[in-house]
Structure 1
């Protein structure tokens, strides 16, 4: 937690307070972590993030089977990631390059680099994934 005057701001899982300018982008050379979620929840989260007050979503990958989405987040996020139903993997830049070609074989960009910020703020992503899970649960319970 970071205290700013009378307010207490929760730290992101990368260890810093979220800002409207988002988290630090991945390091040069592609160092970043990757949050992977089921496609349905991920697509809802992308919609939530893009409807927000500011553009809060970085590059997003989808697998060829459209089963999962992967959000690029700042390095260090994996160390504190604890969102049920998702995983966060450290990449340390191994094999990742943020160019038009997807960095993982068998995947493609849903939101390619260059069209969005370099990384999604982990705290903002965590909130969007939670909201997406609640929306999906509510929709499934209405049937």
Structure 2
């Protein structure tokens, strides 16, 4: 699945303050991301952390633990480092033009496990490919 992804940072341009979360952001096409959210939620509701929907680019962004970008190699997706600038997890989305699909909660572990996300994205890609072949 070919997609054009931006390498723009996923964080607020403001300097970090207390309450910032250091994380990376895995960005995928919205269709694949929505399938992955469904897969993750069927497994366990706590398996998926906050998810951003970028209306302008039609993508979803999954918050994952910092350092994930260094080893991320899932085709059709990008993983962007926050470069230590912190992301504010407030009711307002931290990126202009985006909305929370799944807003941050009060849980201590706010990020989606990258190994679980990798599996869900792979399954989602296979489901989409099978559905497209049936058309």
Q: By the TM > 0.5 criterion, same fold?
A: yes
Deviations 1:85-115 (A, max 9, x none): 0000000342510111111111110000017
Q: Residue 98 of structure 2 aligns with which residue?
A: 107
Find the aligned partners of 1:102 and 1:49 in 2 and give their Cα distance.
22
Find the aligned partners of 2:83 and 2:21 in 1 and give their Cα distance.
8
Q: Residue 138 of structure 1 aligns with which residue?
A: 130
Q: Are residues 1:120 and 2:112 paired? A: yes
Contact 1:41–1:136 (8 Å) recurs in 2:
yes
Q: Residue 78 of structure 1 aligns with which residue?
A: 69
Secondary structure of 2:47's match?
Answer: coil
- Superposition pairs of residues 1-143 of structure 1, within 5 angstroms: 29-53=20-44, 55-65=46-56, 67-94=58-85, 96-114=87-105, 118-143=110-135
For structure 1, the 5+ residue unaligned runs are 1-27
Q: Residue 5 of structure 1 aligns with which residue?
A: none
The alignment's TM-score, normalised by the length of structure 2, stands at 0.80
For structure 2, the 5+ residue unaligned runs are 1-18
Deviates more, 1:70-79 or 1:116-125: 116-125
Find the aligned partners of 1:68 and 1:41 in 2 and give their Cα distance.
9
Choose 1 or 2 for highest CA Rg.
1
Find the aligned partners of 1:112 and 1:92 in 2 and give their Cα distance.
22
Deviations 1:3-59 (A, max 9, x none): xxxxxxxxxxxxxxxxxxxxxxxxx52110000000000000000000004520000
Secondary structure of 2:112's match?
Answer: coil
Q: After TM superposition, what 4+ stretches of structure 1 lie above 3 angstroms from structure 2?
A: none
The alignment's TM-score, normalised by the length of structure 1, stands at 0.76
More helix by percentage = 2
Deviates more, 1:65-74 or 1:43-52: 65-74
Contact 1:95–1:103 (8 Å) recurs in 2:
no
